[in-house]
Amino acid sequence: MESNVKVLLFAASLRADSLNARLASLVRSVLERRGVEVDHAAMSGFDCPSFDQDREAEGLPAGAQRLRDRLAACDAFLIASPEYNGSMPGVLKNTIDWTSRFRPQPFNGKQAFLMSASPSMAGGRAGLWALRVPLEHLGARVYPDMFSLAQAHTAFSEEGTIADEMLQRRLESTLGCFLELVEAAKHYPRIKKEWVEFLGEKTDAATDRVELNAVNR
């Protein structure tokens, strides 16, 4: 199958035997079978020192610059993220915060698909609801459906697919629907790209963080 879409994919775990990394590898093979060009990254490449606004004057860290560059080169991004204490990993939020300081806003207008894997029965889903918040705040178009692999420590087959074949098919068809949206968004460039950080607030050039389409400037 042919596709014109390029995506960035990474698991937001630094752990060597990460379940989310296994899920990301599985998703990579599904996407590549559909002809999608996949930039498969590692969270370690995006890791940044703890965010400190005083350090910004010295420049933004290399991990955030790498994420910015790789986001700029893709049509969409997919994250397989662990859930820690009902939320996203600090390492991921820290990288998002640093990356959000670039202009233009690197997440704005990018299509996004969120996944999680956890030994728990809920598969880390609460962490994805938390992850939606900063991504949508920054203008990413986060796909409504999310995939959370429950009891992930026993869910994979030896070949690296999901042992439950029906569940594997559901994941594949959901990814297919997401890719159609990415493809459509790519061909309709007037689709939402504007970003107003606090839409509805009194406008103020001193504090506004806004990116407008050329027609509305």
Q: How far is the CB of 83 from ligand FNR (least distance, A)?
A: 4
Q: How far is the CB of 94 from ligand FNR (least distance, A)?
A: 15
Binding site for ligand FNR (CB under 6 A): 13, 15, 18-20, 82-86, 118-120, 124
Dihedral (CA of 144, 113, 37, 102) sign = positive
Looking at the Cβ atoms of 84 and 102, the one nearer to ligand FNR is: 84
List the end-to-end C-alpha distance of the chain, in Å, as a whole number: 40
Give the helix ranges, DSSP H, for 46-195.
62-72, 90-99, 125-137, 165-187
Comparing CB distances to ligand FNR, the nearer of 5 and 78 is 78
Nearer to ligand FNR, 171 or 179 (CB): 171
For residue 41, give the H/E element and its range. strand 37-42
3-state SS, residue 91:
helix
Residue 120 beta carbon to ligand FNR: minimum distance, rounded to whole angstroms? 3
Minimum distance from residue 150 beta carbon to ligand FNR (Å): 9
